[in-house]
Structure 1
Amino acid sequence: MAREVINQDTYSQEDHQVAYVFDPEDDGTRQKPAKRRRRSKQGQDSAEIVKDSSAFVPLLNGAEKPEFVKLRERLFQESWAKIDERIERILKTSNIETLNEVSEFAKDAVTESGDRIPSAFIITGPNIASQDLLFQQLSETLQQTTSSKFVGLRSSEASTLKATLKKIIRDVTAKASTDEDDDLEVSDGREGRRYLDYDLEALYAFIKPQNVEHVFVAFQDSEGFDSSLLSDLIILFNSWRPRIPFTLLFGVATSVELLQARLLKASCQQIYGAQFDVIQTSTILETVFKTAVATSDSPVVLGASLIRSLLDRQHDQVL
């Protein structure tokens, strides 16, 4: 029978010290360190497997069985999902007023915008995490209340004019983009015709038989876009109206004035805009805390130090 491999390493207090003082004249009279508890290689391997496959660390000095670690993680994920659902419900409710205002603006702008492009400037604040939920709600609400298409853009997806147009056209026509294929086949009601996948003529041919009232293009992090690219897009989109009924949505973390100062004057003159203020997360933080965390039926009980850490982190993110 093969002998079990035993770890002979020893444990000393210095193992966890941040720094050491080296004295070459030390007489070596310090107490001999105690031996570390012996652990089999099989036990070490099990702990390593759990460590690699789970974000939860084995308890009991690493002696907790892998199946118990996975059980703790599963129970936590299930319980935290309920808290996350409560938080999301509160955030969605806080956005309802903004959603209704933007919807009304889009409807009225059809007749009031004239030869300018309707643009909603939504002051989201610096909390990027809440922006995703807001624009997801905007997409759902606007497409339910109007005959429209919705495209969300991030600055990381719009490095050039060509790349931005590709993203918009592909999303509206629900075509998967490939680097090798630069053509897009769109049916205009008579016969299929191929267009370059960054040609707005393809978008026009696609929406024409559908009687689309709006093509919403949302710049979620508008300050992150190149200012000249943003100006070019505004001018280009307005030149295609009313064939393509573009309506623009800008997520603004700072102020409309700062964003306007970055744009070309010619593009600003083509905007029919309105400003909408979203309820900031910091304003409803107490409601979120009381409803989702500090309730008697909360599935996860958080300690005071962890709660303080979460609140401090939230405060730092919105500054």
Structure 2
Amino acid sequence: MPSSASETRTKRKRLGEPSGDHLSSGNGELIDHTELISDRDVHKTCYLIKPSGTTRKKAKRNHPFISLDQSIPETDSHVAHRWKLYTTTMANVQEKIERILNDADESTLQRVWKYVTSTQDYDEDAYPQLPVGLVLAGANISNHARLFTNMSKYIEEREGQKVATAVVTLRDASNLRDVLRKIIDQVVGQRKSDDEDEITAPINTVTQSDQTDKRLSYDLDLLVVWLLKHESVQKIVVIVQDADGSEGNLLPEVIRMLFLYRNRLPFVLLLGIATTLPVFNSKIPKRTMRMIDFEVFDVLRSDDGLTRLLDEIMLSSSTQLLLGPNLFRSLMRRYNNHTKNLETFTLAFQHANMTHFFANPLSIMLAPPPAIAQSKNHIVALRTLPSFKSYIDDLMSKEDCDIEQIRKLLTDPTSLVSFVGSCQQQFYEFISGQSTALNLLDVLQDASSIYCSTTVKRTRAEFYADAITGKLKGSPLVREIILFITKMSAATIDNLARLIDQQFDKNSVIRMMKDSWNISTNSGKGSHSKLISNISKSIRDFLDANLNPYTDIVFHELFVFDAVSLCENVFAPKFRATIEKALMQPSYYLGQPLETPVFERPFISVAHTLYRESGLLINIYDYWTAFHQTLAGNNDTETTDNASLTAPNEDHNDSDLIASTPSQSTFSESQTLALFYKAMSELKYLGFLKETSGKRGGNKATVAVLQKMVWDGL
């Protein structure tokens, strides 16, 4: 008897079909699909269908972007130009981001490097303890990999052949042997390019002459032999990323083993700690703490990196795309409440840029190709943007409106593309003004905080969203700063001038504005009052002129990306909600109509529907009975396997063949039971169920039941 319905259908003779296609069996022979597959081919695991005739050639693309035909029909050249624009923009951004991330940990890396080079030579009498550096890297473990990888590179670049490093993680090692094997492989692997033969020999045997004295791959004597052949190596730095994340005595065993070899191998151990120093000390035995001489390095995380990211990338002169206020607030809320990780913030920023260029066909207008004026689809889309419509309405509402200019913008594509270029130039001026205004507010806060200790300084990141939306213009904070200016003394004015000279270059607008104050000519009470009035007026006018909202720029939809809905689920994905939606409404993902019958849904979806309708404990037999009845529907499924899988007679036509093919609603009981076990196993794998046992009434007998692990909607 065949084992499945699919195997039976494979064996059947196919009638009335063209003979153009062939089947290739497991041994490579071609089989015409109109021929009956014999019993010798039943054991074949797969068949390759090779269609006859010429196949349609697919269009070749050397980039992942696709044509967005549903919004604006694009040509292949437009899509390729969007991809090129994205790559060139992100190449410059990526370079700056890498520099900012590396500089954020510069002070810590320098202190660790000095500690490594300052440790004494290994000698049991002169230096009886193992040198250990405790790096307090913070609770955000997602940032540890980059930090300690950069630490290893930083030490190697400055010491060259004098230092060999190894970076290991204890969570990937099950025992001490795995840790020692990783240390040996990484240290020895750094010098493979120098002498390949010298490396492979010590791992397998100690010497070529003594083939019987074999060393194991985790024996530290291999490093002793290797160190004798590399006399230039003065230090072996072992970096453990997750020192407080190991289970059992693995870390104390590693420390003890390195301590025992301290007189033969120049080990320096660096331990990455995600918790605090007291918590780490409580996990290490006292006898192990007596073996080490440690120094603590605290990785100070500040908002300087985020400020640099705003200045050098988001508000720089080369900015192509500006993050909108809603999206930026979402990123800052996640940064402050959850991650506190600059690297995560930069990844979110890069994803926002990628989404804009991928999902917006009008992003091509940031650097339009010469023939873009001939694309009617893009021109029509530009004229339908809300900012352009508002601009035309404002022009029409004026009494002395320029009808000729409006006619050109509405009818001439070349004039419209030229107008987009002028709007882009206005956007660059807006970015420059915003950056200078935020820098000035930063300086004014520093000047006021010197004489007012209660003033809480706000960072530039906290100003960003309110600044680009115009909410900062005339805000209470700005009024408070202007009020402070009106009360400045002569010493305060001199201090403000000094801060401006430090923060702004000679050709900046702020420096020229400061020169116009004529501070050096101040003498007398009347002159001081006039100077104060001049300073406050110039600063107020400058802030009012540069803290305008970005919505005043025509075509700001091209230069500002604020689609929170496109990015929020990527930054903080909700896996459980997605899985539950897929199980409850599989038609969203399978392309089925919403009114699809229950028995035509995936079997795990049927089992999940019954799961949601049950209580905390589910009797397995009741679960199976409800599953069976749901699939059976109104059909009689009490048929045997032989009756449901009987091959049709060769005299039957094609309609009879199709009618005799079993469907989900005509599965036999044994087949339905197998599908039920499969669906139940998948729900257990997803974490919805677990097996347990319960009492049956007052009897002592137990019955197998399932317990709910996840409640829907929580």
Structure 1 residue 73: Cα displacement: 4.1
What is the aligned counterpart of 1:142 among 141, 151, 155?
155
1:108 aligned to 95, 101, 118, which one?
Answer: 118
User: What TM-score do you get using the length of structure 2 for normalisation?
Assistant: 0.34
Among candidates 83, 86, 89, match of residue 96 of structure 2: 86
Residue 259 of structure 2: which of 238, 242, 248 is its match? 238
Residue aligning to 1:308: 329
Q: Per-residue deviation at 1:248?
A: 0.8
- Following TM superposition, by how much is the alpha carbon of 1:265 offset from its aligned partner in structure 2, in angstroms? 1.9
Q: Say if 1:124 and 1:69 are closer, same or farther in 2 by CA, change over 3 A.
A: farther
Q: Name the larger-Rg structure.
A: 2
Code of the aligned partner of 1:61:
Q
CA positional deviation for 1:226:
2.3
Q: Distance in 1 between matches of 2:207 and 2:315?
A: 57
Is 1:317 aligned to 2:312, yes or no? no
User: 1:194 offset after TM fit, Å?
Assistant: 4.4
- The code of the aligned residue for 1:120 comes to G
* C-alpha deviation, 1:186, in angstroms: 6.3
Does the 8 Å CA contact 2:132/2:294 hold for their aligned counterparts? yes
1:308/1:60 CA distance change after superposition, 3 Å = farther
1:184 aligns with 2:203: yes
1:118 equivalent to 2:131? Answer yes
| Paired residues of 1:169 and 1:200 also in contact (CA < 8 A) | yes
AA aligned opposite 1:167: K
Q: How many residues align?
A: 265
Residues 7-26 of structure 1 mapped to structure 2, 5 A cutoff: none
Q: Distance in 1 between matches of 2:335 and 2:66?
A: 26
CA distance in 2 between counterparts of 1:219 and 1:263 reads: 15
Q: 1:74/1:154 Cα in 2 relative to 1: closer, same or farther (>3 Å)? A: farther
Alignment correspondent of 2:235: 214
Is the Cα–Cα contact under 8 Å of residues 188 and 208 in structure 1 kept in the other structure?
no
Taking structure 1 as the reference length, what is the TM-score of the superposition? 0.71
Structure-1 separation of matches of 2:139 and 2:83:
32
Alignment of 1:253-292 (within 5 A): 253-280=274-301, 282-292=303-313
1:239-293 Cα offsets, whole Å, 9 max, x none, are: 0112111111112222122122112222111111111122315453222222222
Q: In the alignment, which residue of structure 2 is the partner of 1:158?
A: 173
SS of 1:163 mapped into structure 2: helix
Distance in 2, matches of 1:91 and 1:291, equals 12
Match of 1:59? 68
**Higher helix proportion (structure 1 or 2):** 2
The Cα shift of 1:229 comes to: 0.4
Identity %: 26
Q: Distance in 1 between matches of 2:333 and 2:83?
A: 25
Q: Check whether the contact 2:140–2:340 (CA below 8 A) recurs between aligned residues.
A: yes
Shift of 1:318: 2.9
Find the aligned partners of 1:219 and 1:268 in 2 and give their Cα distance.
Answer: 16
Return the letter of the residue paired with 1:185. Answer: N
Name the SS of the counterpart of 1:104 in structure 2.
helix
**Residue aligned with 1:275, SS:** strand
Q: Tell me, what secondary structure is at the counterpart of 2:132? A: strand
Unaligned 5+ segments in structure 1 are: 1-41, 176-180
Aligned counterpart in structure 2 of residue 297 of structure 1, from 314, 318, 332: 318
> Aligned pair in 2 of structure 1 residues 296, 110: CA closer, same or farther (>3 Å)?
same
Distance 1:284 1:188, change over 3 A: farther
Equivalent residue number for residue 202 of structure 1 = 222
Name segments (4+ residues, structure 1) moved above 4 Å: 62-71, 186-194
Cα distance change on mapping 1:185 and 1:71 into 2, 3 Å: farther
Q: Measure how far apart 1:199 and its partner are.
A: 0.8
Tell me: CA distance 1:298–1:223, structure 2 relative to 1, closer, same or farther (3 Å): farther
Deviations, residues 84-118 of structure 1 (Å, cap 9, x unaligned): 22122122223222222112212332159821111
Q: Would you say the 8 A contact 1:122–1:276 is kept in 2?
A: yes
Structure 2 alignment gaps of length 5 or more = 1-55, 193-199, 342-714
- Equivalent residues in 2 for 1:65-80 (5 A)? 68-69=78-79, 71-80=81-90
**Partner Cα distance (1:242, 1:318) in 2:** 42
Distance in 1 between residues matched to 2:75 and 2:243, nearest whole Å? 49
Equivalent pair of 2:206/2:222 in contact (CA under 8 Å): no
Q: Deviations over 1:160-210 (max 9, x none)?
A: 2111111111111117xxxxx9x9236779888742111111111112221
Larger mean Cα displacement after TM superposition, 248-257 or 78-87: 78-87
User: In the alignment, which residue of structure 2 is the partner of 1:25?
Assistant: none
